[in-house]
């Protein structure tokens, strides 16, 4: 920061000096107008006043920098750019019409330039500012005011010296503030370390609350995480959900068993026996799905993270559903051009795709079409399964990925376990992606999930 500021000091002083010279040049141009028009610019009042000013001796103390003489130079050119007056009598009669400051003013523009007196010495440069000289509205010449840039050097050095002094003071203050902040920060962090150690050995410890709002929020988050890691809420929720889902099938089984105790015709006995079998299978299905979902939710990353082709995996799942598709006279269209390399758990991904196909088959009208689309989107692969059913009602959309939430199947009117879509979402998140549900305006619904593509396999195949 100090270097940036010091680099701006000299340009800033030059700009301020240029602005002052612009004012002075226009004032002097107005004073020289009458002498230049009367052709006495070399020996008139303007020349005598200027000479007297340059010979003045004075002692000015400008913020610690002493100034004892006038150090600017003035020359006047006529309308052709020929020098008619030079305060140093060096360039009389010279053609300055091509110098940038004079030529710009003659064209009606702002004129300024910086030129070295000796091209090999950088400290001999001067700043030239020119102003037009008018007489009765007509341009009759150009006045140029020059100031050596070396005269600015004391002010530049003084400014840099003060910046260095103030910068060191600011550095010391910042270091002191940093030490205080570091002490406060480390004290707060050590409080969390002590809390974590206590939790790790099973001690009852209260999360630290000091250290400001952010640390208080972190303490609350740690306390919530501890509670979740202990598994109390997790287990309670699953037990409640499982009990709720098992209640209806068990009631049906108990009722059917009670009826079977009484004498019944063979047809009725077979009907109740089938009911018991179906409800027992439903209970088994719920328990299996619950165990699958619980296992996926506890994973932090895929257990079997191997290279896969999601397109080939999807085709295998479709072949496994051929009987179910033919049973309802459903057609399936796979749009998967090329390879779709990814990394992940083949077993979990296959289960997720099977869940999507099961849903599409269950909600498709007989003889309908199911579309499976795979596409690459930047560094991701997206798989979408679309059916031609009625879609989901608006009230159900926010709950479709919740556990045990299910809609009645059109063909049977019965609900599923409500664990399929939550399982798909968990598998997608486990593989760095997400799952989505959407109704189509022209009818039907689509469920999709995406996951990270295997860039290494993509480059090798390319």
- Give the pLDDT score at 155: 74
- Give the pLDDT score at 144: 93
- Condensed to tens digits (0 to 9), the pLDDT of residues 228-278 reads 665 555 455 555 555 655 665 677 677 777 777 777 787 877 877 887 776
Domain shared by 359 and 439, yes or no: yes
Instruction: Decide if pLDDT at 199 tops 70.
Output: no
Classify 448 as helix, strand or coil. strand
- Kindly report the CATH number assigned to the domain that includes residue 289: 1.10.287.130
Q: What is the dihedral of CA 337, 338, 344, 346, to 10 degrees?
A: 70
Domain shared by 13 and 78, yes or no: yes
- Condensed to tens digits (0 to 9), the pLDDT of residues 69-110 reads 888 889 999 999 999 999 888 889 999 999 999 999 999 999
Domain shared by 309 and 428, yes or no: yes
Instruction: Decide if pLDDT at 65 tops 80.
Output: no
pTM value is 0.43
Residue 425's nearest CA partner among 437, 416, 435, 433 is 435
In the chain, % of residues over pLDDT 90:
18
Arithmetic mean of pLDDT over the chain: 80
Domain shared by 52 and 174, yes or no: no
DSSP string over 5-68: HHHHHHHHHHHHHHHHHHHHHHHHHHHHHHHHHTT-TTTSHHHHHHHHHHH----EEETTEEE-
Cross-strand pairs, 448: 384, 436
* End position of a domain, from candidates 298, 313, 335: 298
Given the structure tokens 């009230």, which residue do they identify? 395
Long-range contacts of 97-101 (CB under 8 A, 24+ apart): 99/128, 101/128, 101/129, 101/130, 101/142, 101/144
- Condensed to tens digits (0 to 9), the pLDDT of residues 116-136 reads 877 787 777 888 999 999 998
Q: Are 195 and 204 in contact (CB under 8 A)?
A: no
- Condensed to tens digits (0 to 9), the pLDDT of residues 323-340 reads 888 888 888 888 888 888
To which H or E segment does residue 148 belong? strand 138-148
- Kindly report the CATH number assigned to the domain that includes residue 100: 3.30.450.20
Domain shared by 44 and 137, yes or no: yes
- 462 CB-side CA count, 13 A: 6
- Give the pLDDT score at 235: 54
- Give the pLDDT score at 34: 92
Domain shared by 356 and 406, yes or no: yes
Distance CA 415, CA 405 (A): 9
Domain shared by 290 and 306, yes or no: no
* Comparison of pLDDT for 169 and 4, the residue scoring more: 169
Distance CA 190, CA 211 (A): 11
Domain shared by 172 and 122, yes or no: no
300 confidence band (pLDDT: 50, 70, 90): low
Domain that includes residue 425, residue range: 301-461
Total number of domains in the chain? 4
Domain shared by 335 and 451, yes or no: yes
Cross-strand pairs, 372: 334, 385
Instruction: Decide if pLDDT at 440 tops 80.
Output: yes
Given the structure tokens 């008619």, which residue do they identify? 84
Domain shared by 305 and 446, yes or no: yes
* End position of a domain, from candidates 298, 325, 346: 298
- Kindly report the CATH number assigned to the domain that includes residue 365: 3.30.565.10
* End position of a domain, from candidates 133, 152, 171: 152
């Amino acid at each position: 920061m100090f270097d940036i500021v010091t680099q701006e000091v000299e340009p800033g002083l030059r700009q301020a000096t240029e602005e002052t010279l612009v004012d002075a040049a226009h004032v002097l141009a107005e004073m020289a107008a009458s002498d230049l028009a009367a052709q006495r610019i070399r020996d008139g009042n303007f020349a005598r006043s200027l000479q007297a000013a340059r010979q003045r001796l004075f002692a000015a103390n400008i913020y610690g920098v002493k100034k004892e003489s006038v150090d600017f130079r003035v020359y006047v050119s006529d309308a052709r750019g020929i020098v008619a007056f030079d305060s140093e009598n060096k360039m009389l009669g010279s053609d300055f019409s091509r110098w940038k400051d004079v030529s710009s003013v003659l064209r009606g523009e702002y004129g300024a330039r910086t030129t070295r007196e000796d091209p090999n010495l950088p400290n001999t440069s001067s700043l030239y500012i020119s102003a037009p000289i008018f007489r009765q509205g007509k341009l009759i010449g150009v006045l140029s005011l020059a100031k050596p840039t070396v005269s600015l050097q004391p002010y530049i050095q003084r400014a840099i010296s003060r910046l260095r002094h103030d910068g060191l003071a600011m550095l010391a203050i910042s270091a002191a503030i940093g030490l205080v902040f570091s002490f406060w920060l480390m004290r707060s962090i050590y409080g969390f370390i002590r809390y974590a150690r206590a939790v790790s050995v099973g001690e009852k410890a209260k999360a630290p609350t000091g250290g400001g709002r952010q640390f208080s929020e972190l303490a609350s988050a740690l306390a919530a995480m501890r509670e979740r890691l202990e598994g109390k809420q997790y287990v309670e929720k699953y037990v409640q959900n499982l009990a709720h889902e098992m209640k209806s099938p068990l009631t049906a089984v108990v009722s059917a068993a009670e009826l079977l105790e009484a004498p019944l015709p063979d047809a009725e006995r077979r009907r109740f026996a089938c009911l018991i079998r179906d409800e027992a299978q439903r209970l088994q299905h719920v328990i299996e799905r619950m165990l699958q979902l619980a296992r996926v939710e506890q994973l932090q990353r895929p257990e079997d993270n191997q290279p896969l082709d999601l397109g080939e995996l999807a085709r295998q799942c479709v072949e496994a559903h051929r009987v179910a598709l033919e049973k309802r006279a459903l057609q399936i269209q796979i749009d998967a051009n090329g390879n779709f390399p990814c990394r992940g758990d083949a077993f979990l991904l296959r289960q997720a795709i099977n869940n999507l196909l099961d849903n599409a088959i269950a909600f498709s009208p007989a003889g309908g079409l199911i579309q499976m689309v795979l596409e690459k989107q930047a560094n991701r692969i997206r798989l979408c399964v679309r059916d031609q059913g009625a879609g989901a009602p608006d009230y159900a959309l926010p709950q479709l990925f919740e556990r045990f939430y299910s809609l009645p199947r059109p063909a049977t009117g019965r609900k599923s376990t409500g664990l399929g879509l939550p399982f798909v979402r968990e598998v997608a998140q486990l593989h760095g992606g997400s799952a989505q549900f959407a109704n189509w305006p022209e009818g039907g619904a689509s469920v999709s999930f995406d996951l990270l593509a295997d860039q290494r396999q993509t480059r090798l195949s390319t």
